[in-house]
Amino acid sequence: MRLIAILALLASQNAPPKDFSVRISFTTCVAEDMDTATGHFRRSLGTGAEASAKVRLTAADLRKVYDAVVAAKFWELPERLEPIVNPDGTITVTSPGTLLKIEVRRDRSSRTVQYDTGRSGSADPRIERFNGLFKTIADVFRDKPQVKSLPGFQVFCL
């Protein structure tokens, strides 16, 4: 009985805070935004049309997102990620880039981190962690049947 109580305590210590939620978005000539607090998913198709869905996230979904936020050391990331200058002193700029944003809310506070993929330099592990986190959160939404049934983007961004 004591072991069960200890295991329950350990599990609750690693559980997401009750007010934990994440909102992500990416924007180019098309866009998507997702919010775990509301279950809202919106896709801008690039033609002026939009498609949206209400998604029911499970406790396992939220746990996966929370664990990814912790693993990415999100609270240690700067508010704006900038690429590391290449050894030759340059930064590659590709236009248009995609603006990625992640906002995490927990313990009555929030933090937003953004990264413009149109600027690149030498490999930066912080950017890799950010991109991995973004993909994990987006995949949680995109794997839902309500989102899979939405129309895809109607344009290709150059």
Q: What is the full DSSP assignment across 37-52?
A: TTTEEEEE-SSS-EEE
Give the CATH number of domain 17-148; options: 3.40.50.10890, 3.30.1560.10, 3.40.50.150, 3.40.50.1000.
3.30.1560.10
pLDDT value at position 31? 94
Instruction: Give the integer Cα–Cα distance in Å for 117 and 93.
Output: 9
At 7 the pLDDT is 41
Query: Tokens 């944003």 sit at which residue?
Result: 101
**Angle, alpha carbons 108-36-77 (nearest 5°):** 60
* pLDDT tens profile 107-157: 999 999 999 888 777 678 999 999 999 999 999 999 999 999 999 988 877
Burial of 31 by CB count in 10 Å (0-12 exposed, 13-18 middle, 19+ buried)?
Answer: middle
- Residue that the structure tokens 């690039």 belong to: 46
- CA 66: distance to chain centroid? 11
Sign of CA dihedral 7, 107, 60, 75: negative
Residue-wise pLDDT tens digits, 79-91: 998 888 878 888 7
Question: Which carries the bigger pLDDT value, residue 158 or residue 7?
Answer: 158
Q: What is the mean pLDDT of residues 77-103?
A: 85
**DSSP single-letter state for residue 85:** P
Band (pLDDT 50/70/90 cuts) for residue 57 is very high
Q: State yes or no: pLDDT of 101 exceeds 90.
A: yes
Provide the 8-state DSSP code for 71: H
Assess whether pLDDT exceeds 90 at residue 9: no
Nearest to 68 by CA among 154, 7, 12, 129: 129
Quote the CA–CA distance of 27 and 13 in Å, as a whole number: 35
The pLDDT of residue 25 is above 60? yes
